[in-house]
DNA sequence: CGCGGGTTTGATGATGCTCAAGCCCGGTGG
DNA sequence: CCACCGGGCTTGAGCATCATCAAACCCGCG
């Protein structure tokens, strides 16, 4: 994107690179998000923990995307979610005030930021729609199509909570749809997964 | 919000008031959203229809909120959703190009628009979270607390698809939680709702 | 009176959760 | 080299929740 040298310098002067170790927290529930993180390398997750200790994954983030809690970062409200590094990661951090300053001085930042927010909300919309209209199995296939990288980089039990299902159910969904190839021919009576025409 | 007279005139010059009759479509699936609608009076809904003809409500809108499909409006992509009036409604319409012009000429619009987008995405986030973490019943109570007006203005079968459950299930959820008052005194052993504590 | 939209109720089956084992595999320490 | 451990994945049995189908009900209206 088009930035002048001086703008780039300005950005460099307020951004700081930070390394996070696997499992290291970036933001705690109840804490106010002081920084937003642009991931250079690694994988992060955003999740809530309920009274029974169950984790529910709200967001998964890989390199070249922003992790953190936008709502807390923008409004200053305490975060409802934890954010931590799933893999060892490197990220560029920027504070809210520095962010607002960039906003003032670099027009392209305003535009970029608007686009990001829009795309973020469109993605949310799609994910919400998948919850309203799709079955667990369909949601899984949908994820497989939309973000195949997630399935590579995060373990199944995290993917399960991202899909809003139990790990056992996810395991069964995967095995059902693999079986047809695996024991091809072993069961004479087996006719495949599609009973209901 | 602070606007000069000339800014107000400018806005008035591009906005048009339109009446929609109950059940009248504002936007069809597959169509590009040319206008965004600010509801003055009435109620609108945004929903998808699947291959089996089932409707799934993505959004409900009352007076002083914006209805339409933001994604289609902003990106020019064909809408995945229908938008129609549930009650007779009056709305202020603005076209995308006029909207962008206002954007250019009125700084306060940029700011307002940013806030709206942010709040919209925070609301989406919350609703998504409710789908990941809450049971149907909890989602219903949550809606009752968050948008009680919806329960007044929209019929149950629409609320049901908004919550992602069947109308029958919603009906049962409601009756279960009303019973305690209804047959108050009919069962000698019944001692009221507050056993615990 | 009959009709239509909306809601309720019951019966039944599918789906998915929970609990409890067991498995697989890489890592660590005896 | 093997025994053991922990994290993650799988499998099975039993149960709760929910969708579906079908019927009835309710009520405002022509």
Q: State the Cα–Cα distance between residues B164 and A18, nearest whole angstrom.
A: 41
What pLDDT score was predicted for residue B4?
85
pLDDT tens sequence across A52-100? 889 999 999 999 999 999 999 999 999 999 999 999 999 999 999 999 9
> Given a cut of 60, is residue B188 above it in pLDDT?
no
Instruction: Classify B5-105 by CATH class.
Output: mainly beta
pLDDT interval class at A186 (50, 70, 90): very low
Q: Quick check: A116 contacting B, CB < 8 Å?
A: no
pLDDT interval class at B87 (50, 70, 90): very high
Placement of tokens 């993605």 in the chain: A123
> Given a cut of 60, is residue B190 above it in pLDDT?
no
What pLDDT score was predicted for residue A1?
65
Whole-model pTM: value is: 0.88
- Among residues A196, A168, A194, A160, which one has the least CA distance to residue A180? A194
How many residues are there in chain A?
A: 197
Q: Quick check: A56 contacting B, CB < 8 Å?
A: yes
* Positions in chain D where some atom is under 7 Å from a protein CB: 7-13, 17-22
> Given a cut of 80, is residue A124 above it in pLDDT?
yes
Cβ B55 to strand D below 7 Å: no
> Given a cut of 50, is residue A49 above it in pLDDT?
yes
What pLDDT score was predicted for residue A178?
56
Where helices occur in A57-166 by DSSP H, the ranges are 70-75, 96-105, 107-133, 136-146, 148-153, 156-163
Question: Which CATH number among 2.60.120.10, 2.40.30.10, 3.50.50.60, 1.25.40.10 corresponds to the domain A5-106?
Answer: 2.60.120.10
Q: State the Cα–Cα distance between residues A73 and A34, nearest whole angstrom.
A: 6
pLDDT tens sequence across B15-25? 999 999 999 99
3-state helix, strand, coil in chain A (%, to 5): 50, 25, 30
Cβ A137 to strand C below 7 Å: yes
For residues B131-135, average pLDDT: 96
Q: Which residues of B touch A52 (CB under 8 A)?
A: none
> Given a cut of 60, is residue A46 above it in pLDDT?
yes
Strand ranges across the sheet with A89-95: A16-20, A89-95, A35-41, A66-67
Quick count: other Cβ atoms within 10 Å of Cβ A138?
Answer: 12
> Given a cut of 70, is residue A11 above it in pLDDT?
yes
Q: What is the mean pLDDT of chain A?
A: 88
What pLDDT score was predicted for residue A69?
96
Domain range annotation of chain A: 5-106
Q: Quick check: A103 contacting B, CB < 8 Å?
A: no
What pLDDT score was predicted for residue A9?
87
pLDDT interval class at B8 (50, 70, 90): confident
pLDDT tens sequence across B147-187? 999 999 999 999 999 999 999 999 999 998 754 444 444 44
pLDDT interval class at A197 (50, 70, 90): very low
């Amino acid at each position: 994107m088009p930035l002048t040298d001086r703008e780039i310098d300005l950005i460099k002067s307020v951004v700081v690179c930070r390394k996070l170790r696997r499992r290291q927290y970036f933001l705690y529930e109840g804490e106010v998000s002081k920084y937003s993180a642009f991931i250079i390398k690694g994988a992060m997750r955003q999740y809530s923990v309920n009274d029974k200790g169950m984790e529910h994954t709200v967001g998964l983030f890989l390199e070249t995307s922003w992790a953190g809690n936008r709502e807390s970062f923008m409004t200053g409200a305490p975060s409802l979610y934890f954010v931590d590094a799933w893999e060892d990661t490197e990220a560029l951090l920027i504070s809210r005030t520095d962010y607002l300053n960039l906003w003032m001085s670099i027009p392209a930042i305003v535009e970029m930021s608007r686009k990001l927010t829009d795309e973020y909300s469109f993605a949310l919309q799609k994910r919400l729609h998948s919850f309203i209209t799709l079955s667990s199995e369909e949601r899984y296939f949908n994820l497989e199509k939309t973000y195949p990288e997630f399935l590579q980089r995060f373990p199944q039990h995290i993917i399960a909570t991202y899909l809003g299902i139990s790990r056992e159910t996810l395991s069964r969904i995967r095995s059902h749809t693999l079986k047809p190839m695996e024991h091809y021919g072993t069961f004479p009576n087996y006719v495949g997964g599609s009973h209901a025409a």
